[in-house]
């Protein structure tokens, strides 16, 4: 290719859309990059101490949580998925969507609720005492490692359930029918066919569960479990040692990237892929008598523990406390939450649309790399992103300060790193993928032919976008906006680390109440978060159903 041709191609591909995409990628990458850089600086004394005495424990507990939660979410999620996909029993249609609901309760809210319910003054022990039974209260100690596994399992299993179920419903029909014809029992079919063929769905959803667990701060800090995420908080808030927090984040990031590579390898080495492109629907087998009862009991039990019981308890508490909690201050903080979430969502959707459009219209190696980079915040725990954003903004502030000094102005220290800008940037980094994936799916469904038609009729890329593309991806855009908005409202660790002084969101307020031993008062903000999430979960479920058709 000659130089002039190269020039022509660069000119052809350079436009406002690409420039905006580059800005978006920079916003996402700079904080992540600032963490990476810290790996090459000399550590302070504190770090030596952490490394020698604490790090092994942090890593051990993190891995332990991941292993046990992973194991149990797979057991519960896959069993439920198989039950609902392959069998017909009373209330099955209800369980089909209702088993998704626990996803709308953030694990930290579940942890606060269950620990208060099981405490000495909680409903469980008081009820038992009123019957004259005084149990050993150690039996109800949920604030422990097994307790954390319990909470994570019951409030994260829907990831495994959703992905595995829809995979089974779409893919497994003919295999299962064949196995039945070959005289296999249900039990054998489950272990010899269902588990192996749904491996990709299980691994994919397991990754989501693992990312949630390692990212968690709310549950582990409340239960006093030392994970890497809580350690980042402690070195930051407890020791005011941002350097060590940064270093911890960097190592954790290395771990996450490693995990990511393992997942890629597992997917790449996947031995099975459908030998026929025709996927037949699984025909549900009718359960009768005892087995039907057992199925209803199992599904109902899981749903009760993971949704109904905590929600009912929260409602009761809310009815006790609404007079004290619902004040003008509460409205103020609700408004805060919605406003910050709205701003961050708007920024995310803007960049998501621009980058997705560039990738769609100029699908070359450069733009595809851009799209991969812009998603890189998704798999990183909130604490890491928070540390990265803070480091980046402190550096930026120092830059601004020295520039102001050069210009002979008075210095304004910590201009940006005390403001809401930081929190919003962190949200953008973390949740860009949520918005982007929705927009990308929308564009994929529409294809490029309408855009091409518009261009042959005399419209450039930008005017085509506003006259044609936007109208066609409206639904996907709305879906992505709602999902992103809700994710941001639920988010806890980044809000805790990066909020400006005296700024509260619903999530941080819930945390605040819980750590002040006023869990009951957390009911109203919790219910608010759950309600918004339920709407988004149900919406997502419906969208998913439409896509499957």
**Site residues, another protein (CB under 8 A):** 2, 4-5, 7-9, 11-12, 449-450, 452-460, 467-468, 471-472
Helix axes 420-446, 474-490, angle to 10 degrees: 150
Write down the least CB distance from residue 7 to another protein, Å. 7
Instruction: Report the DSSP beta bridge partners of residue 286.
Output: 88
| Residue 87 parent element (H or E) | strand 87-88
Helix axes 506-515, 474-490, angle to 10 degrees: 20
Write down the least CB distance from residue 367 to another protein, Å. 15
Write down the least CB distance from residue 201 to another protein, Å. 30
Q: Which is nearer to another protein, 124 or 472 (CB)?
A: 472
**DSSP per position, 490-545:** H--HHHHHHPPTT---HHHHHHHHHHTT-GGGGHHHHHHHHHHHHHHHHHHHHHHH
Q: How far apart are the first and last CA of the chain?
A: 46
Is residue 25 within 8 Å of 372, Cβ to Cβ? no
Write down the least CB distance from residue 467 to another protein, Å. 8
Residues 6+ apart with CB under 8 A from 57: 226
Q: Which is nearer to another protein, 359 or 387 (CB)?
A: 359
For tokens 């307790």, the residue is: 147
Q: Which is nearer to another protein, 7 or 254 (CB)?
A: 7
Helix axes 242-268, 382-406, angle to 10 degrees: 130
Write down the least CB distance from residue 547 to another protein, Å. 18
| Residue 319 parent element (H or E) | helix 309-325
Neighbours of 357 (CB within 10 A): 25
Q: Kindly report the three-state secondary structure assignment for every residue of 113-165.
A: HHHHHCCCCCHHHHHHHHCCCCCCHHHHCCCCHHHHHHHHHHHHHHHHHHHHH
Write down the least CB distance from residue 453 to another protein, Å. 4
Q: Which is nearer to another protein, 332 or 467 (CB)?
A: 467
Write down the least CB distance from residue 270 to another protein, Å. 23
> Which letter, b or e, does each residue of 48-58 get, where b requires 16 or more Cβ atoms within 10 Å of its Cβ?
eebeeeebeeb
Residues 6+ apart with CB under 8 A from 83: 89, 295, 298, 299
Q: Which is nearer to another protein, 18 or 421 (CB)?
A: 18
CA distances from 283 to 66, 75, 145, 190, 273 (A): 35, 23, 41, 15, 21
Is residue 157 within 8 Å of 80, Cβ to Cβ? yes
Write down the least CB distance from residue 483 to another protein, Å. 24
| CB-facing half-sphere around the CA of 106: CA atoms within 13 A | 32
């Amino acid at each position: 290719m000659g130089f002039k041709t190269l020039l022509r191609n660069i000119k052809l591909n350079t436009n406002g859309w690409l420039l905006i995409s580059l800005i978006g990628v920079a916003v996402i990458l700079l904080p992540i990059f600032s963490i990476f850089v810290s790996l090459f600086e000399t550590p302070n004394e504190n770090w030596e101490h952490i490394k020698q005495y604490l790090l092994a424990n942090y890593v051990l507990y993190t891995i332990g949580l991941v292993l046990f939660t992973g194991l149990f979410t797979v057991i519960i999620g896959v069993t439920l998925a198989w039950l609902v996909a392959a069998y017909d029993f009373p209330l099955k249609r209800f369980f089909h969507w209702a088993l998704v609901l626990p996803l709308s309760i953030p694990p930290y809210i579940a942890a606060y609720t269950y620990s208060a319910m099981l405490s000495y003054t909680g409903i469980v022990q008081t009820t038992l005492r009123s019957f004259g039974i005084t149990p050993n209260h150690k039996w109800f100690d949920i604030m422990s490692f097994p307790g954390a596994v319990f909470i994570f399992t019951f409030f994260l299993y829907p990831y495994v359930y959703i992905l595995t179920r829809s995979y089974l419903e779409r893919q497994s029909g003919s295999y299962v029918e064949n196995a039945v014809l070959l005289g296999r029992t249900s039990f054998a079919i489950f272990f010899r066919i269902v588990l192996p063929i749904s491996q990709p769905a299980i691994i994919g959803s397991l990754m989501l569960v693992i990312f949630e667990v390692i990212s968690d701060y709310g549950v582990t800090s409340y239960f006093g479990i030392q994970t890497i995420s809580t350690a980042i908080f402690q070195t930051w808030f407890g020791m005011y040692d941002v350097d060590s927090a940064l270093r911890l984040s960097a190592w954790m990031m290395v771990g996450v990237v490693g995990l990511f590579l393992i997942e890629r390898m597992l997917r790449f080495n996947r031995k099975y892929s459908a030998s026929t492109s025709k996927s037949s629907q699984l025909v549900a087998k009718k359960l009768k008598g005892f087995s039907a009862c057992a199925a209803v009991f199992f599904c109902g039990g899981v749903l009760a523990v993971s949704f109904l019981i905590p929600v009912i308890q929260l409602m009761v508490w809310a009815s006790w406390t609404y007079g004290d909690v619902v004040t003008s201050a509460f409205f103020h903080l609700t408004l805060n939450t919605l406003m910050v979430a709205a701003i961050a969502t708007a920024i995310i959707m803007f960049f998501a649309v621009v980058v997705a459009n560039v990738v769609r219209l100029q699908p070359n190696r450069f733009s595809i790399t851009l799209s991969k980079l812009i998603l890189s915040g998704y798999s990183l725990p909130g604490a890491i992103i928070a540390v990265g954003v803070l480091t980046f903004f402190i550096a930026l502030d120092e830059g601004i300060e020295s520039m102001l000094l050069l210009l002979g102005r008075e210095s304004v220290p910590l201009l940006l790193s005390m403001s809401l800008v930081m929190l919003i940037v962190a949200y953008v980094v973390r949740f860009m993928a949520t918005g982007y994936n929705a927009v990308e799916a929308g564009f994929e469904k529409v294809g490029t032919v309408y855009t091409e038609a518009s261009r042959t009729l005399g419209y450039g890329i930008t005017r085509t976008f506003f006259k044609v593309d936007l109208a066609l991806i409206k639904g996907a855009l709305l879906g992505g906006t709602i999902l992103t908005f809700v994710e941001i409202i639920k988010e806890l660790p980044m809000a805790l680390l990066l909020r400006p002084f005296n700024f509260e969101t619903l999530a941080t307020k819930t945390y605040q109440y819980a750590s002040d031993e006023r869990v009951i008062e957390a009911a109203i903000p919790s219910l608010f978060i759950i309600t918004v999430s339920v709407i988004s979960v149900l919406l997502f479920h419906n969208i998913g159903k439409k896509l499957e058709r």
